[in-house]
C-alpha cells in the first residue's frame, strides 16, 4: 500500500499542477495597479513625463477606486468619471478601463476610441487587445477578433488568461451571449 501511495501522490500533484492554469479565471480583469509606461515612452509630452503621474499616490488612489467601481460594483459611469478626472486617458491602463466601461454601457463608438488610445500609448497592452477583441466579437467581427487573439498569443502566449478568455469567447457560436 505504501508503494502505491509513493506513485499515486506525485501523479495527483502533477495532475493538479497541469490543471491549475485551466482552473484559474479565464476572464481576468487585469490589475488595480496601472502598469509602467512602455520603455519607448521615455519621451516627454509638453514637458511632463507620463510615468510621473502614474506613480503619484493621488493618481493611484483614484485609479484603484475606479478599478473597484468597475469590477466590484459594476458602476461603469462612475468609473468613467473617476478615470477621466485623472486627465491621463493617454495612459494605456486608464484608456483601456474607460473603453471597457463604455463597452459595458453599450457605447461602442466611445469604447473603440479609448481602446485605440490605449493601443496608441502601448501597442503591446495585452488587456486592451483582449477587451478590444471582445468588442470586435460583440460587433460581429470574428476575423478581427481572431487577429486580436493572434496578437495576444504573440505577446503573452496561449496560456495567458487574456488569450484563454478571448479564445473561449471565439469558440461560442455567433450571436451567443458572452459572459466576461
Boundary (domain end) residue, out of 80, 102, 122: 122
Q: Are residues 72 and 99 in the same domain?
A: yes
- 121-148 average pLDDT score: 97
Are 163 and 173 part of one and the same domain? yes
Same domain, 87 and 114: yes
> If residue 73 lies in a helix (H) or strand (E), which one and from where to where?
none
Mean pLDDT, range 6-22, rounded to an integer:
41
My answer on whether 118 and 54 are in the same domain is: yes
Binned at pLDDT 50, 70 and 90, residue 84 comes out as very high
Residues 136 and 179 in one domain: yes
Which CATH number do you get for residue 63?
Answer: 1.25.40.10
Q: Is residue 156 part of a domain?
A: yes
Q: Please tell me whether residues 176 and 128 are part of one structural domain.
A: yes
Domain boundary among 103, 122, 141: 122
Grid cell 471582445 is found at 134
Measured CA to CA, the distance from residue 11 to residue 17 in angstroms comes to 10
Query: Among residues 97, 122, 147, which one ends one of the domains?
Result: 122
Q: Does 113 lie in the same domain as 153?
A: no
Asked if residue 110 and residue 157 are part of one domain, the reply reads no
Same domain, 55 and 109: yes
Confidence check: pLDDT of 45 > 50: no
DSSP 2-53: HHHHHHHHHHHHHHHHHHHHHHS-SS----SSPPPPPGGG-S-BTTB-HHHH
Q: Is 65 within a domain? A: yes
How many domains does the chain fold into? Answer: 2
Q: Establish if 23 belongs to a structural domain.
A: no
Specify the pLDDT at position 173.
Answer: 82
Residue 91, SS3 per DSSP: coil
How confident is the model over 146-165, as pLDDT tens digits? 999 999 999 999 999 999 99
pLDDT at position 16 is 41
> What cell numbers appear for 120 in the block?
496608441
131-136: average pLDDT: 97
Quickly state the pLDDT bin for 177 (edges 50, 70, 90): low
Q: Is residue 116 part of a domain?
A: yes
pLDDT at residue 178, as a whole number: 57
Are 115 and 160 part of one and the same domain? Answer: no
pLDDT at 51: 54
Distances (CA, A) of 61 to 56, 71, 76, 96, 141: 9, 16, 17, 17, 36
Joined together, the cell numbers standing for residue 106 give 453599450
Residue-number span of the structural domain to which 102 is assigned: 50-122
Amino acid 52: pLDDT: 54
Among 32-36, 53-57, 156-160, name the most confident range: 156-160
Residue 22 lies in a domain: no
pLDDT of residue 53: 72
* 28-32, 71-75, 91-95: range with lowest mean pLDDT: 28-32
In a domain, 111, yes or no: yes
Its pTM surpasses 0.75: no
Residue 21 lies in a domain: no
Residue 67 has a pLDDT of: 97
Amino acid at each position: 500500500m505504501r508503494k502505491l501511495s509513493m506513485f499515486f501522490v506525485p501523479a495527483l500533484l502533477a495532475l493538479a499542477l497541469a490543471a491549475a492554469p485551466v482552473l484559474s479565471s479565464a476572464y481576468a480583469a487585469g490589475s488595480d495597479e496601472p502598469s509602467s509606461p512602455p520603455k519607448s515612452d521615455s519621451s516627454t509630452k509638453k514637458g511632463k513625463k507620463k510615468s510621473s503621474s502614474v506613480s503619484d499616490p493621488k493618481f493611484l488612489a483614484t485609479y484603484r477606486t475606479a478599478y473597484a467601481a468597475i469590477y466590484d460594483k459594476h458602476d461603469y459611469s462612475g468609473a468613467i468619471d473617476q478615470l477621466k478626472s485623472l486627465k491621463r486617458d493617454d495612459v494605456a491602463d486608464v484608456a483601456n478601463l474607460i473603453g471597457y466601461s463604455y463597452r459595458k454601457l453599450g457605447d461602442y463608438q466611445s469604447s473603440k476610441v479609448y481602446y485605440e488610445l490605449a493601443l496608441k500609448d502601448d501597442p503591446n497592452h495585452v488587456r486592451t487587445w483582449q477587451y478590444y477583441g471582445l468588442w470586435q466579437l460583440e460587433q460581429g467581427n470574428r476575423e478581427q477578433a481572431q487577429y486580436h487573439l493572434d496578437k495576444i498569443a504573440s505577446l503573452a502566449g496561449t496560456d495567458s488568461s487574456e488569450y484563454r478568455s478571448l479564445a473561449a469567447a471565439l469558440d461560442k457560436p455567433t450571436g451567443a451571449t458572452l459572459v466576461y
